[in-house]
């Protein structure tokens, strides 16, 4: 089997570290592995499939001879370095926001628009985490009845702010647990433990945040629905690494609850957990503690939208998915898997 030279840019962060694990889990045939990070991390070593890999400083020269580059760095570094990887002949799958809305760059969730990888020009973008987690279960319902409108409230985990966000929440929980004064917030704008922060990203058009607009803008591009209307409210919650979303959909055509449930139960990437009779809460509905460190989007609380003036045109559900895995690393490596075939 052909072996590929693969680089991870930003290999030491929460997403980069998870990408490494996903390469192994998804059985990607890795020949040479290059782990690229800031000069600060260069020289450290990481184990991969029984080999010790030394982290290198991320510089343009590091991409020479690469077949694929997985991007897990921030927007600025992605913009600076990834075009160099393309020039060096590599195909890039990038998790940053830098290229997502570029009309020359496919934005891909394999369960939805895997075929879009075909028209890439060197870069394929990985969508925003909340976008992926909300769209994976929306897609099978769209295929049934044509989604026209989404009203979404998110419950987003600390991991969305990377390893520093998770460490900050853990430190706050520990301080609270020991009855000590909470450390000053740095990763977030305010204390997160026992609190909610209803702003993720900067304010953009009409008072929506950048994170809130991603679901509409990226959703339109991924689902090929330029007219899709999305009202999103993004809220940071004191949960470590699974995002949850409360989603209300409106459709062009009638859709019954039974059809919706059947489509969700059969959809790739989805696990339906929606047993109202179950004794154990873990079987009754999805919860973040159950969906952490696995790859599926769990969907439950599926019901008719009783507020929709047209009785069979609305469905409401709740979903949870691991922010670092399917929200980022897993999806990126699934795109790589599509490219390799």
User: What residues form the annotated binding site?
Assistant: 12-15, 40-41, 100, 156, 159-160, 236, 323
To a copy of itself, the closest distance from the beta carbon of 128 in angstroms equals 17
Does residue 237 sit in helix, strand or coil? coil
Q: Which residues contact 57 (CB under 8 A, 6 or more apart)?
A: 36, 37, 38, 39, 42
User: What residues form the annotated binding site for NADP(+)?
Assistant: 12-15, 40-41, 159-160, 323
Q: Which residues contact 144 (CB under 8 A, 6 or more apart)?
A: 251, 253, 255, 259, 260, 263
Instruction: Name the residue nearer to a copy of itself (CB basis): 27 or 180.
Output: 180
Question: Within 13 A of 283's CA, how many CA atoms are on the CB side?
Answer: 6
Question: Where do the H-state alpha helices sit in the chain?
Answer: 14-25, 75-87, 110-113, 129-145, 162-177, 210-223, 257-266, 281-284, 288-291, 330-340
To a copy of itself, the closest distance from the beta carbon of 179 in angstroms equals 8
Instruction: Name the residue nearer to a copy of itself (CB basis): 80 or 310.
Output: 310
To a copy of itself, the closest distance from the beta carbon of 331 in angstroms equals 22
To a copy of itself, the closest distance from the beta carbon of 246 in angstroms equals 4
User: What residues form the annotated binding site for phosphate?
Assistant: 100
Pairing status of strand 242-251 against strand 314-322: antiparallel
Instruction: Name the residue nearer to a copy of itself (CB basis): 103 or 309.
Output: 309
Instruction: Name the residue nearer to a copy of itself (CB basis): 5 or 167.
Output: 167
Instruction: Name the residue nearer to a copy of itself (CB basis): 2 or 178.
Output: 178
To a copy of itself, the closest distance from the beta carbon of 263 in angstroms equals 17
Binding residues (CB under 8 A) for a copy of itself: these are 149-151, 153, 155, 169, 173-179, 189-191, 193-199, 203, 206-208, 216, 229-231, 233, 235, 237-240, 244, 246, 248, 276, 281-282, 284-289, 300-309, 314, 316, 318, 320
Catalytic residues: 129, 243
User: What residues form the annotated binding site for substrate?
Assistant: 156, 236
- Specify burial of residue 243 (Cβ count, 10 A radius: 0-12, 13-18, 19+): buried
Q: With both helix axes pointing from N to C terminus, report the angle between 210-223 and 129-145 in degrees, rounded to the nearest 10.
A: 40
Q: How far is CA 268 from the centre of its chain?
A: 16
Residues 296 and 320: beta-carbon distance below 8 Å:
no
């Amino acid at each position: 089997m052909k072996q590929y030279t693969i680089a991870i840019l930003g290999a030491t962060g929460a997403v980069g570290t998870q990408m490494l694990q996903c390469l192994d889990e998804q059985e990607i045939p890795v020949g040479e592995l290059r782990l690229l990070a800031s000069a600060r991390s260069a020289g450290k070593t990481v184990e991969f499939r029984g080999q010790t890999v030394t982290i290198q400083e991320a510089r343009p020269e590091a991409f020479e001879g690469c077949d694929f580059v997985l991007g897990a760095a921030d927007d600025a570094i992605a913009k600076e370095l990834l075009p160099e990887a393309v020039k060096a002949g590599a195909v890039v799958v990038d998790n940053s926001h830098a290229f997502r809305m570029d009309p020359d760059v496919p934005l891909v969730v394999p369960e939805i628009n895997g075929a879009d990888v075909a028209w890439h020009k060197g870069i394929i973008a990985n969508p925003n985490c909340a976008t992926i987690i909300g769209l994976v279960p929306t897609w099978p319902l769209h295929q049934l009845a044509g989604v026209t409108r989404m009203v979404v409230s998110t419950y987003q985990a600390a991991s969305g702010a990377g390893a520093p966000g998770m460490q900050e929440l853990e430190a706050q929980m520990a301080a609270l647990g020991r009855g000590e004064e909470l450390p000053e917030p740095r990763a977030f704008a305010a204390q997160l433990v026992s609190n909610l922060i209803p702003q993720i990203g900067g304010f953009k058009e009409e008072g929506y945040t950048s994170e809130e607009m991603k679901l509409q803008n990226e959703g339109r591009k991924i689902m090929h629905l330029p007219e899709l209307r999305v009202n999103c409210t993004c809220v940071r919650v004191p949960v470590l690494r699974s995002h949850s979303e409360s989603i209300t959909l409106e459709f062009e055509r009638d859709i019954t609850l039974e059809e919706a449930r059947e489509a969700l139960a059969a959809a790739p990437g989805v696990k339906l957990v929606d047993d109202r009779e179950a004794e154990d809460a873990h079987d009754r509905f999805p919860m973040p503690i159950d969906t952490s460190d696995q790859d599926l989007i769990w969907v439950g609380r599926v019901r008719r939208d009783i507020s929709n003036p047209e009785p069979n045109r609305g469905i409401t559900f709740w979903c949870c998915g691991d922010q670092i895995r399917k929200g980022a690393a897993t999806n990126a490596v699934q795109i790589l898997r599509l490219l390799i075939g």
